[in-house]
Structure 1
């Protein structure tokens, strides 16, 4: 009897944990999807309307915002729909949804690498920057970034190597459980493409900026202005990389160490999953706060919107009142006036 009670308690606790886990995914996936979509749309609008996207460095920032927008407007709504239904995993499109989600996630990661390399050549190897970042080469870079992971995940999608299977705890179809070989290969190639390149770029950038900063007193005004711009770029991207690492590394490490979610608690897995997703919300906020060009463009757009709305509330052609005294009687207590509406040209 005691053993049966213990088993019943364990099953009851597992059911409660699963229900709580579903509620957590429902709430966070929906919230991050809505907020992230709005913020990334605003950030994209600022870059486009402000004309910043024409500059090479901002083309890669725009590309990052677009990938973050897809994460929030495509990936998270798919996960949210699974959390609100019990039977979507059997509807025949689970593998295709998983393919889309993991392709977009991989592309977002490569966009961070692309920005790091761009900043490296812009600050450390400026003489090579214009030769490398031509319009043609930029198109090739973006094409590679947006096709690399979609091609890679065709292997499990087609069943050639691995497969997509539904995870009822993560509410997503992924290739993690299907084949240890493909899982290890995917994680390894992701770490090799990201960590060494990002570390190399920012170590070299920091060394360059620090060495230049020591000679700042001997710089001319134009050189000093460029140094300030470089320091601003370093600060912005350094914050981006630090937050990206802090938000995504726990998910990567826990996914490798506990792929079947039988070691750590569901709460721990849920926390690191949405910590990673929330990076798509943080990125547009970082750039809007730390980058002066994006910030000024955003404030300019807000100013135009407020000015347009103020004209609607307070139209420019408002009627003016002309008051004339037409008679002054003997009694000091009463004065007769004529009020007439006139309009003056603006």
Structure 2
């Protein structure tokens, strides 16, 4: 993925690429769309997780949350940095350029490794259920999440410190990228990204294939299950199907990035890099759409958020109306007569009994 948007420049010292104005406008509109929809969708997804008890009970929830946070960081931090560069004639801040690149590739690895962890989790839960609870305790799951983040960004350390490649501006296509050093013949991303991507995809594909075989066998025995057993099995199968859809969405978004980085790591065909930039950035908006369209718990969770919001607005309006009504009633009451109070006040000359 090219982690900075494209712009025109006339710097004669750089072997750069100029793009038509309409391409720049389209790119800007799409990037702003991804920022708004991605940030809003992933934020709402996080809120749904915290509000819905049924989702929090699912063993896969913490991994889905990790995937959502990775997407949220890209849409709310990385993409705005890219869009900022879109308005400038060159990278105005080399630190931000590098930060956007590292953040994107790091979170891309986090998403990919999280999908691997989810696939393995579903495999163990469905194919090897007896050992699932022992492996996926809260402590072990938290450790897995931490390791995913550490490994994802540790893979970029050689490029960050210039040991193997570097991070900076690619002058051919005028984007921030992982670059090869002058003494190197191969760009590091041409080796690292394909190995990481295809090895992870192989593990995920194998896991879901085994899950599919087990589900197919279990359907034949479904008639002998109790209703509660069938309901639990159907729920787990639905979650597995949801996770598989997320994996397919990830493939659709990032496979163009991998292929372009393999066959054109030197940036000889800038238009291909533009297309893969669009598809890879689409990943931040796809997952919330898949959650809502596929899973009933997510749909009910989103409905609950909006219904609670509308109920709060109505309740506040009703409370405000009642307050105004009470104030109007009080203001319409006649003033209090103080003569009665004067009658009961201290009389310095009280009447004597003989006066009566």
Q: With the length of structure 1 as denominator, give the TM-score of the two structures.
A: 0.80
1:311 partnered with 2:315: yes
1:214 partnered with 2:220: yes
Q: Distance in 2 between matches of 1:73 and 1:148?
A: 23
How far is the alpha carbon of 1:169 from its aligned partner?
A: 6.8
How far is the alpha carbon of 1:86 from its aligned partner?
A: 1.4
How far is the alpha carbon of 1:54 from its aligned partner?
A: 5.3
Q: Distance in 1 between matches of 2:254 and 2:95?
A: 30
Cα distance change, pair 28–232 in 1 and its aligned pair in 2 (3 A): same
SS at match of 1:175: strand
Structure 1 unaligned blocks of 5 or more:
1-13, 320-346
Give every structure 1 segment of 4 or more consecutive aligned residues whose post-TM-superposition deviation is greater than 6 Å: none
2:261 corresponds, among 252, 255, 259, to 255
Name the larger-Rg structure. Answer: 2
SS at match of 1:88: coil
Contact 1:155–1:161 (8 Å) recurs in 2? yes
1:197 partnered with 2:203: yes
The residue aligned with 1:31 is 33
The residue aligned with 1:224 is 230
1:48 corresponds, among 47, 50, 56, to 50
Cα distance change, pair 226–253 in 1 and its aligned pair in 2 (3 A): same
Q: Deviations over 1:200-257 (max 9, x none)?
A: 1110111111111122212111221122112211321222112211221122112211
Q: Distance in 2 between matches of 1:101 and 1:190?
A: 15
Bigger mean CA deviation after superposition, 174-183 or 274-283: 174-183
Q: Deviations over 1:119-148 (max 9, x none)?
A: 112222211110110122112111111111
Which residues of 2 match residues 117-132 of structure 1 at below 5 A?
117-132=120-135
Contact 1:120–1:205 (8 Å) recurs in 2? yes
The residue aligned with 1:62 is 65
Structure 2 unaligned blocks of 5 or more:
1-15, 326-356
Cα distance change, pair 74–172 in 1 and its aligned pair in 2 (3 A): farther
The residue aligned with 2:137 is 134
Q: Deviations over 1:314-339 (max 9, x none)?
A: 459597xxxxxxxxxxxxxxxxxxxx
1:173 corresponds, among 166, 173, 176, to 176
1:160 partnered with 2:166: no
Give aligned pairs, total. Answer: 307
1:290 partnered with 2:294: yes
Cα distance change, pair 171–131 in 1 and its aligned pair in 2 (3 A): farther
Asked which structure has the greater RCO (Cα within 8 Å, sep 6+), the reply is 2
Alpha-carbon RMSD across the aligned residues, in angstroms, is 2.6
How far is the alpha carbon of 1:115 from its aligned partner?
A: 1.6
Contact 1:98–1:172 (8 Å) recurs in 2? no
Q: With the length of structure 2 as denominator, give the TM-score of the two structures.
A: 0.78
1:238 corresponds, among 215, 219, 244, to 244
Contact 1:103–1:149 (8 Å) recurs in 2? yes
Cα distance change, pair 173–16 in 1 and its aligned pair in 2 (3 A): closer
2:19 corresponds, among 17, 20, 35, to 17
Cα distance change, pair 247–91 in 1 and its aligned pair in 2 (3 A): closer
How far is the alpha carbon of 1:286 from its aligned partner?
A: 0.9
Contact 2:180–2:187 (8 Å) recurs in 1? no
Q: Distance in 2 between matches of 1:93 and 1:47?
A: 32
Bigger mean CA deviation after superposition, 282-291 or 24-33: 24-33
Cα distance change, pair 260–20 in 1 and its aligned pair in 2 (3 A): farther
The residue aligned with 1:273 is 277
